[in-house]
Structures are given as C-alpha cells and as structure tokens.
Amino acid sequence: MVRPGRLLAGLLAGCLLPVGMLGGLSGGAAAAGGGDPARFTVALLNEVDSFNPFLGIEVESYEMWALTYDYLVDFSTEDLSLQPSLATDWESSDDGLEWRFTIRDDVTWSDGEPLTADDLAFTYSRVLGKGPESATWKSWLAGVTEVEAPDDTTLVMSLSRPNSVLPMVPIPIVPQHVWSEVSGEAMKSFAAEPTDGAPVVGSGPFRLVEGTAGGSTYRFEANPDYWNGAPHVDEVVFRVFKSEDPAVQALVKGEVDFVEGISALQVDSLEGRDGVLAQNADTPGFDEISFNAGSVDLETGEPIGDPNPAVLDPEFRFAVGLALDRQQLVDTVYQGAGRPGSTIVPPGYATFHWEPPAEDLAHDPERAAALLDEAGYTVGADGLRTLPDGSPLGTLRLFARSDSATSTKVMAYFKEWLADLGIESEVTTVESSKLTDIILAGEFDAFEWGWFVDADPTSMLSYMTCDQRGNWSDSWYCDDEYDALFEAQGSELDPEVRAEQVKTMQETLFRDAPYLVTAYNTTGQAVRSDRFACLLQQPAETGQWIFQQGTHTYRSIRPAAEAGDCDGATSATEAAAAGDEEGPGAGLLVGAGGLVVLLVAGVAVLVVRRRGTAEDRE
Amino acid sequence: MTLAASAAGPEGALAAPPRARRSRGGYGRYAGGKVLGSLGSLAFVLVVNFFLFRVLPGDPARTLGRGRFSSPEQLEQFNAAYGLDEPLPQQFLTYLGNTLSGDLGISLRYRVPVADLLVDRIGPTLLLVGTSTLLAALVGMWLGVRSAWARGQRFDRLSTGASLTLYSMPEWWLGLLLIATLAVGFGPVPGLFPTGGLHSVDVDPWSPGGVLDVARHLTLPVLTLTLAYLADYALVMRSSLLDELGSDYLTTARAKGLRDQAVRNRHAVPNALLPATTVIALNFGFVVAGAITVETVFSIPGLGLLATEALEIPDYWVLQGAFLVASVGVILANLLANLLYGVLDPRVRT
C-alpha cells in the first residue's frame, strides 16, 4: 500500500510546481499599445442567450448583434435623436401608408458580398412571416403588409394603417445569401455562430470570431472596412463573470478593462483608484409599485382573483402615492444611485417625457390622509381606515421579488407608509416566475417590479392597454380614453402632435395611478482609464458607456497612449495618467516559488515527524 | 440537486446481519440483483423527470418575453414553435420517445440542442468537482487516519479543528477570500492566479500550454472545494478507525510484535475503509451535479450553474437533461458502491 504521507507530498508538489513556474510567464493582459493588438476586454455578468437576432432576449445579446450587424437607422449619443444608418434618407406618403427609404450603396458584408436593399426586404419579410422571427419582432412592423426592394438602393414598405414608430425599427439586418437557406423550422435552433475560424457574416463594425450561446467568452475582431469608419481597437473580448465581486477584482488586477452592472457600493470603492473611472449611469427604465387595477376574466368580463376594493379605486391609489417618500427610497434602497421616479417614460427620452407637478410627487402624508378621508376611507375607532361603505379595509397583500434586494426593501418601506396612513398590509416575497402566476390569477393587491423602455415608447405604452390584460399588462389597468389615445399616437405622423398624445397618456396614468413609479434606476460601470480613453455616454453626461442604442463607444474608444483628442469628440472620456502598473515579474516567481517550497517543506516535516513518532513508539 | 439522492438510496451500504443460512448464488446473483434495482431506479427517474419540472411556477414564453414589444399572438407563436401548446400527455410521450432515442430537446433560453449544452458544461464540472473530491478524499482520509491513531494529541486537535472550521465556512466566502488574496495579491505579494474563468482568451485548452493555463485557472476553485470537503472524509475515516481500535485482532497484531505503522496500515485501515468507501462513492455520484456556489464565484461554466439558471425560466428541457445526467451519475455511483461492497465485505451477499 502506498504510504499516504509520501503520496500527498508528491501530489502537492506535482500540482503546485508547474503553477508556480507559470506564474512568471503570464501576468495580467498586456497593456494596450506597442506591438500587441489593442484588445478591449469587457466583463459581462450574464451570458449571451443567442447570437441569432431572431431568437435572443438578453440585453447582452442585443449588444452582440449591434456589433455584428447594422440597422435601418441609428440614435445619437447626445440625446438619442434619430440618425441615418443603412437608410440615408426616408419619406412617407401623406396618408402614411407607404414609406420609401434610400439605402446606402457602400456597405459590404464581411464575406465581400455587397449589402443591398434586398437584404433589408428579406429580413423584414421574414419577420412578417410565421416563424420564430415574427414571434420576436413582429410588433415593430405593426400595420406593415409588404416590404419590397425595387432596386439596390430603394426600400418600400406598404402599410394597411399608419405606423408612427417608423423608421425606428430595431431589427438587425441579416445577409439574405446566408439566411435564405435557413428554413422556418431550422430557425428555431439556428445558432448564427462562428464555425472553425470562419466569422459570422455581418456588416457591422466588428466580426464575431469566437463565441457560443451560453458560453463564457466572446471575441470580436475589428472590421477595417466598416462604412462608418474603422474602429480604433483591434479586438473586443467579452468575458462572463457570474458574480459582481470577482468581476471588480478582475478590473483592479487588470484582467479586464471594463465592468458593467455593478452596484453603487462597488462604484464608490473604485472611484478613488488611480487609472480607473467609475460612474453610476442612467438606464432607460424605471421601477414601480403596481396595483391590481381590476383583474377580470377576459372571456366573460367577470372579476377574477380577489383584489381589495380599495386598490380598484383610482382615488385611493393616487392618495397612497402621496405617502411615498421617493427621495428616501433613492437615498437608502438605491444607495443614492438613482433618481426619484415620476412616469413610465424616463426623462432621458426628453421628447416624450411628461413631468408631473412637483406637489403631486412630493412626500405629503397629510395630503394623502386628507384625500383618503375625502374619498370615504375614514379612520375607524380602532385607528384603521375603513372602506367607503364603513366595513373594515382589511389587510393589503403586497408582493416583493426574492431575486431583487431592491424589491424587498421598497416593499418594507411601503408597508410602513401604509401603516402611517392607518392601512394594514403584509409583504410576501416570491420568485419572479411565481409572481407572474399570481398576477395572472389576480390574487394580489400590489407588487414591486420594473421595466426597460425602448427608444420609442410605444411598447411601454402598449403594456397599459386593455388588449394587453392577461398578456403583458401586470396591473390589469383598462381605460377607454387611454386606449383611444394609444391607437391615435400609433398612427400619428406629426411628431409634435404624437409627443403631446404620449404626454397626455402619461398624465392619465399618473392620475389613475395603476403604477406608482418609484425610481429611475442607475447601473454602475467602470473602465481602466489608464488603458483606454474616448468612451462616449448616451445620453451625454448621464448615460451608459456601453449597452447603448448603437455601438458608439466601441467605435470611438482608443488605447490611452494613442487617444489624442478623440477626434474632437467633446464628451469622450480622457485618458488617465498611466500609473505604475505592477507588472508581475521576478517578484511573482519568487513569491510563487517560495509558496511551493514552504508547502513542500511543511509536508516533508510532517512526514519526517510521523516517522519519528512511529519509531519512538516502537 | 439533492433530489437525485432520493431517487436511489444507498441500500447496500448498510451491512446486512450475517445469516446462518448459506447464500445461494454468491456474488453473481448479488450483482445481478443490484443492476436490476438500478435499472428500476432509472425508469422511475425518467418518468418523474418530466412531471417534476412541469409543476414549477412561471411560463417560459412570459419569462423570456418580458420587456419585449409583443402581442398575445406572438406568445402563442412561441409556444407553438417549441411544442409548449400540446396537451401534457402528448408532450410526455414525445419526451419519452425523444429521450430514449437520445434527443434531449432544444433549450428554450439558448435555443440550441440541450445535449450540446450539457456536453459543453459537463467537462468543467467534472474537472472541478472531480479533482476536488479526489483530493479531498485522499487528504481527508490521510488526516483521519493520523488523527484517529494519535487521538487527543496535538495533531488530532489541530486537524479536526481546522477541517471543521473549513467545513462550516460558506464556500463562496472562502472563494472570495482566496480571490482577494491569491488572485489580486495583497501587500508585497502579487496576484498569483486568475480571478475566474476556465482558461485565458484565445488559448486552446487542449494544447500543452492550454492545459497548464486551465490548471492555473482551476487552482483556486479546486482549493476552495477541497478545503470545504475535507472534513467530510477526515471525520468519517477518523471515527471508523476509532471503532476498530479496540478490536481483538489489533491486539493480536501488536502482540505478534508488528511495528505500529504496520498494525495501522495493514490491519486497522483496510477494515476502517468500508464506511469511507460509501461516502466517497456517493459523493462521486454528485460530481456531475456541480458545485453551484463555487461555479458562481469563479465564473466556471458548469452544470450546476446551468441548472440553477434554468429554474428561473423554467427551461424544461435543460432541467430535464441536467436532472437525468445527475440522476444517472448518482445511480451509477450507488451501483458501484454496492458492487464494491460485495467484494470488500462478503457478509452483504445474502
């Protein structure tokens, strides 16, 4: 029998020695510049779920498609205004039933084929069809009956009714000569990933050369012939970290150049460091407390579930909203990294955002109590409020999501504020998927959740319509005037008139209060500014550096040593003075070697001691 | 994934009392019975597997579509495309047929065949958890033998105390501690190891350099798991050796004048190995289930993490595939433990 002692020493030495030797050979990533390729490495906190733009849903996947493909139009970094992209020019007929786009003629696919209007017609036609493509994107082409390309640079859309979302169609354009061979059945599991070194055929600023859905590394090479200017880095690499702390540690160590999705606490910890730039960036979304505004059986119109009569009353909901201390939520729950919320269209979308009067957003418990009294919810002998008919109001059932610390904390505050008004409630914490079931059954009074809002607010506005009850509507809100306005703005071709309609809709929602918008969230991002400069924010000053509408940062970013003035981009980040990077070198070897020696020596001592004691015993 | 454990308990692991009656058939019959039992467990798992995950709350089409501009028709289209609109009995039959022919379906989240996903994810898990289990077993058993032999002495107190301390530490915390010290570096000591991942970017893990690169990346996670698992083996080995210490045959061996070491290694340890065998075999059954927390902290794309994340959707086919693989692992390990027991301890063959 092998003596365990000796076996162990051999094992330890065998394991650790090569590691020690290796330690000297490879340190962190080489600093960009010099003869090495400039590689921008980004830590993501979630995998790409599909590189096929007709299948994926994760925000990370959208980012990959944007690097690989082009779109009909683009959005500026400054204020997300519309910019030409594949379409240089567009016009619609007076009745809005025909749109003509002029398509660029200087774009080539990565395999050398020219990109023409046919590729756009092909992509949109697939979406209008029946397969998984349409399950994903069809709503964006609402009213479109046919898309044709009369010649290489002209695209014509025919519509049965006007569609005000046009030309803002966020569908990536895929090459017809590759995708026409994918049948509807095959599309269900078509990966669109690189195989054996052949990159994915796309027209975007970068080319995917390595990566699989659900994998942990995605590598892109720059497209030197990009029609909108070649990128200034050679490679962009994404590495998936499954938790925040190691990702931040990797940034500090220099294994990655960029981290995203980190907490305000992490941003604080990074802010003082040399060579690191960190920020809490505005995200295009909001968090809200949603009430059950009237769950019904959609077939019969009969009420389902068991909402408290109070939450069905818009006056009650609006009054309760005045008891919210949004600033306190931002300061405590959001650790200061957020803004008090107001409506379902975030202020970043300045064209469409409606700002309620300050007094209606204020934390005003006295006014809340007065409004409740006025509406008949008076305080009974036991100090608790009653329903207008005099019966006890009972206990409101509030739900928080177990996968979100924010959700549970916000609901804890909400419970307190309700108690201050004389309303009892209990908070139950459940998983998101379970909450979805509860919402669909109508067995709740209120819950906490949030939404991301697209550059065009149509999708968010649609979730509050009667048609979406039982589908995406989670508040069961239904209001005929609101629905009429939704239809009208969807066909309104005058942008100013449409903006007014969208603002009116927000006001309606604010007064009826199916949602109490609690906060506009931010997300933490940080970059090694001693290595890379010229990152752009979208919108300017407050927005994110990556996960934008478009690929602005990836195209403008430069190695710090060659940044210069970033081609005059005013809002770009500047290079930090490169600090002394602790290059792992001789010290590391000595350290690792020392560790190994220590361990082996320790084991040896044990072995020797064991022999000794054994002999003593004999 | 402890669910798998209930599917097959360690039946043979408990030594049956010796019977006076001579057993007919001997080892072959015993082994045959055990194999049949395992097949039965497998059939049971196949059926349970389908219905177990259908009772999960949530609706894949809704989870995947939230925040997307879409109509009820588009939800229906999704369900039709992935066979979720069929009645449950029909879905069950489809599942049985497909599974038996080796088709595990398409993942709802990643839209790639589940078999491909599992193959990609099982390698890292086997490497990480397998290596750790092996190391922990070897080191733990060695510690256990030494501790028991030197019961109450300083070594015993130290090793038992240390392994219990490590055992009660949360794995993720231990992992973060190792990252903060050995990966990032502290004071004069530079970072020795990567903070996470399985291998460096554009390194082929199968090349000679790549193998070393993977070893470097796996050092900290393996160290974390090994330290966490140590106590398991050390304590089992220690207590079962202590049980043997008072036996007559040891007194006899000593009386024969054998050296202490020989008494320990040739007489006491082989008998004390029996309970440890069970623990090791069962733990190896759980190797495929992965180590979710450590996979998370070190961003190792393993099976445990895949299954955990599939629960949120719920991604039925991924869950079924992962559960099947994990169950087969446990059932096989159990069968092996039983067969091995039959060899090591003839008393169980009745």
pLDDT tens, N- to C-terminus, chain B (350 residues): 333 433 334 444 444 444 445 555 678 888 999 999 999 999 999 999 999 999 888 889 888 888 788 888 888 888 988 889 999 999 999 999 999 998 999 999 999 999 999 998 998 999 999 999 999 999 999 999 999 998 889 999 999 999 999 989 898 999 999 998 998 888 788 888 988 888 887 778 788 888 999 999 999 999 999 999 899 899 999 999 998 888 899 889 989 988 988 888 888 888 888 888 888 888 887 877 768 889 889 988 888 889 888 988 899 999 999 999 989 988 998 898 888 888 877 777 76
Q: Which pLDDT value is given to residue A577?
A: 59
Q: Of the candidates B56, B298, B305, which has its C-beta nearest A246's C-beta?
A: B298
- For residue A617, the chain B residues in CB contact (below 8 A) are 260
Is residue A450 within 8 Å of residue A288, measured between CB atoms?
yes
Cβ–Cβ contact B179 with A under 8 A: yes
Q: What is the pLDDT of residues A302-335, one digit of tens each?
A: 999 999 999 999 999 999 999 999 999 999 999 9
Q: Do A431 and B216 touch (CB under 8 A)?
A: no
Q: Of the candidates B110, B146, B196, which has its C-beta nearest A213's C-beta?
A: B110
Contacts of residue B193, Cβ cutoff 8 Å, sequence gap at least 6: A19, A23, B182, B183, B216, B217, B219, B220
Label residues B201-214 b or e (16+ Cβ within 10 Å = b). Answer: bebebeeeeeebbb
Q: Of the candidates A8, A138, A591, which has its C-beta nearest B138's C-beta?
A: A8
Mean per-residue pLDDT, A150-159 = 97
% of residues, chain A, pLDDT over 70:
87
- For residue B75, the chain A residues in CB contact (below 8 A) are 135, 471
Q: What is the pLDDT of residues A270-295, one digit of tens each?
A: 998 999 999 999 999 999 999 999 99
- For residue A134, the chain B residues in CB contact (below 8 A) are 74, 77
Is residue B331 within 8 Å of residue B42, measured between CB atoms?
yes
Q: Which pLDDT value is given to residue A305?
A: 93
Residue A300 CB-density burial (10 A; 0-12 exposed, 13-18 middle, 19+ buried): exposed
Query: What band does A9 get if pLDDT is binned at 50, 70 and 90?
Result: very low
Q: How many CA atoms lie within 13 A of B38 on its CB side?
A: 21
Q: Of the candidates B135, B202, B215, which has its C-beta nearest A18's C-beta?
A: B215
Cβ–Cβ contact B205 with A under 8 A: no
The amino acid sitting at A371 is L
Alpha-carbon separation of residue A258 from A479, A502, A564 (angstroms): 45, 37, 20
d(CA A615, CA A65): 71
A99-103, A240-244, A466-470: which is most confident: A99-103
- For residue B318, the chain A residues in CB contact (below 8 A) are none
Cβ–Cβ contact B219 with A under 8 A: yes
Cβ–Cβ contact B81 with A under 8 A: yes
The amino acid sitting at A204 is G
Higher pLDDT, A509 or A540: A509
The Cα of B4 is separated from the nearest Cα of chain A by a number of Å equal to 23
Alpha helices by DSSP H, A405-494: 405-420, 432-441, 458-462, 480-491
Q: What is the pLDDT of residues A343-381, one digit of tens each?
A: 999 998 888 999 999 999 999 999 999 999 999 999 999
- For residue A584, the chain B residues in CB contact (below 8 A) are 190-191
Q: Do B176 and A217 touch (CB under 8 A)?
A: no
State the Cα angle at A526 between A521 and A531, rounded to 5°: 160
Mean per-residue pLDDT, A68-74 = 97
Q: What is the pLDDT of residues A401-453, one digit of tens each?
A: 998 999 999 999 999 999 999 999 999 999 988 999 999 999 999 999 999 99
- For residue B260, the chain A residues in CB contact (below 8 A) are 614, 617-618
Q: Which pLDDT value is given to residue B290?
A: 65
- For residue A217, the chain B residues in CB contact (below 8 A) are 197, 201
Cβ–Cβ contact B113 with A under 8 A: yes
For chains A and B, what is the number of CB pairs under 8 angstroms? Answer: 216
Higher pLDDT, A3 or A417: A417
Q: Which pLDDT value is given to residue A592?
A: 45
The Cα of A385 is separated from the nearest Cα of chain B by a number of Å equal to 35
CB atoms within 10 A of CB A221: 20
Q: Which phi and psi (to 5°) does residue A583 adopt?
A: -75, 130
What integer best gives the mean pLDDT of chain A?
Answer: 88
Q: Do B110 and A132 touch (CB under 8 A)?
A: no
* Model pTM above 0.75: yes
Q: Of the candidates B65, B197, B202, which has its C-beta nearest A216's C-beta?
A: B197
Task: Give B 5-44 residues with CB within 8 A of chain A.
Answer: none
Tokens 């016009």 sit on residue: A91
Q: What is the pLDDT of residues A567-608, one digit of tens each?
A: 877 778 887 754 444 444 334 444 444 454 454 445 444 544
- For residue B150, the chain A residues in CB contact (below 8 A) are 613
Q: Of the candidates B112, B135, B215, which has its C-beta nearest A19's C-beta?
A: B215
Q: Which pLDDT value is given to residue B24?
A: 56
Q: Of the candidates B57, B75, B260, which has its C-beta nearest A617's C-beta?
A: B260
Element containing residue A589 per DSSP (H, E): helix A586-617
Q: Which pLDDT value is given to residue A12?
A: 37
Cβ–Cβ contact B151 with A under 8 A: no
Q: What is the torsion angle, in degrees rounded to the nearest 10, for the CA atoms of residue B119, residue B123, residue B126 and residue B131?
A: 170
Residue A613 has pLDDT above 80, yes or no: no
